[in-house]
Structure 1
Amino acid sequence: MDNYSQMLAFMWANEHGNFSAAARANGLTPSAISKLITRLEDRLKVRLFQRGTRNLTLTEEGSAYLVSAREVINAMAEADSLAEAFPNRVSGSLRIHTMTTFAKHQILPWLPEFLALYPGLTVDIQVGAQYVDHFEQGLDLAIHSGVLPDSSRIAKKIGESAWITCASPAYLARKGSPSQPRDLLNHDCFNFGFNSAWNNWRFLTNDGQVTIPIAPKAVFAQGDLLREMALGGAGIVKLAQFHIGADIQQGRLIPLLTNYDIPTKEPIYLIYSNRKHLSPRIRVFRDFMQAKLLETPWD
């Protein structure tokens, strides 16, 4: 940065003809301009100006240096003008990590509209059931639910979702509906195949919170596979409301044991690495997504 300041001082002094005029025009003192140019000459080991009593004259070396200095200053000005446009320009690649079910049921339905609004933007959606911090590898955003690990990342709550115990009308017609949580032990149930709080089937009874030790008939790595089992009439599942809200609204799945539901809901967070100077591609995605969630609530 000091080299750039020295070059600017040289350009100003040449433009105005002396240190005093260059200093007045740029809010500095004549001694500050003089010191910057002296440092520049010491660094280059050449004299750039012949100092007169009132005016400066370029030396031969100074004239040659002026050509290169102008190219550098012009390039810097062009770079600054490009950077000033960044806050309003939406382009490049937006990399997102989220839950497979959230991507399928809450992002994909409106993604074509978003891409049409921002044709200079490409979106790379990576999916996985659990949150992973890949921001150092170029990730821009993550969308995940539940308890997040402590970190320096920024987590903005964008919604919340209940977890609903449910089954299809066909299964309930064949096996009957459980009337209390412990009845689940006599039903065909399905769970996630990895260690997760989502596998804890908790209910609120007269004795307080209880966890039913489900012995799943099968386990799956993705919530959509659990949903398909339930829709096919195979048994009972417990899935997020944002995932199966439409199925419940349209009667494809029936909520069970609602009198025993725990009233708290699981928060859903949008996570990014830094609050300051938020990239426009992140900002427009965040704002668009929040507007869509208000338009089509899953409950």
Structure 2
Amino acid sequence: MLRGISRFLVAAQVLLYGAAGTSAVLSGQPPPPAPPAEIEADRHALVALYIATDGANWVRNEGWLTDQPLSTWRGVFTNPEGRVWRLELQVNQLTGTLPPEIGDLTGLVELDVIHNQLTGPIPPGLRRLASLKALRLASNQLVTGSIPIELGKLTRLDRLSLAGNQLTGPIPPSLGNLANVRLLWLSGNQLTGTIPPELGGLTSLESLSLGANRLTGSIPPSIGDLETLQILEISRNPGLSGPLPASLAGLHALDFLGITGTDLCVPRDAHFETWLANVNFDGERCPPPGPRQ
């Protein structure tokens, strides 16, 4: 039993810290520290974040700007090597803009700054965060520019939440490269243009929220390729129109479909009716066909 538990713990270390961390576990020693230059770069990036977002007036800023280990700074989490891997600064009265130095936190896995008062653009430098799995910028006031196409390079992302801001422009087709993303929330912005068919390549996607924008056109048939999709929320986009593509009736994992506040409709045929019987549906069915002449 103990031997099995030990093997499990080693396997867990492989997932969390990689081979170097595993070797340390097997030897009974802690993982070697990161090079001082990397830790210093993390510290410099955090200081830039503090200054750019008025850290002196955050709700919680204990430990920040001290010479203590970064793990003692409120909301900062480090891995065994001392690198910053998670930032949790949600609901903390951050104002101002995210500085470009945020892209220097190259060990970052999770960034959460939801429910603050951040303004300005999403820094393109985020593309350098190759290990990032969760990016939560929702419920701020990001008002300038559009969603950077560079976010499509963060191929390890499994959660991307940009909802509740004032982002403009189209949804970048490059987001279709996020093969591991399970949650994609872009609702409550001012996004325009059509829904990119490339989103149909997000084969791990479970929740897609595009509601309350200014999107136009129809639903691309490729959305029907999202076999793991459970939530499809595209309501309150008056410019969306037309019948849903037949491919959507193949989304057997879907639990909720929201199309209210659009000119989209569900075709009146037996295939769709059978499908809708197992879906929580908020929207309209297409008008019945008129009499044949």
Q: TM-score, normalised by structure 1?
A: 0.19
Structure of higher CA gyration radius: 1
Q: Determine which structure has the larger helix proportion and give its number.
A: 1
Q: TM-score, normalised by structure 2?
A: 0.19
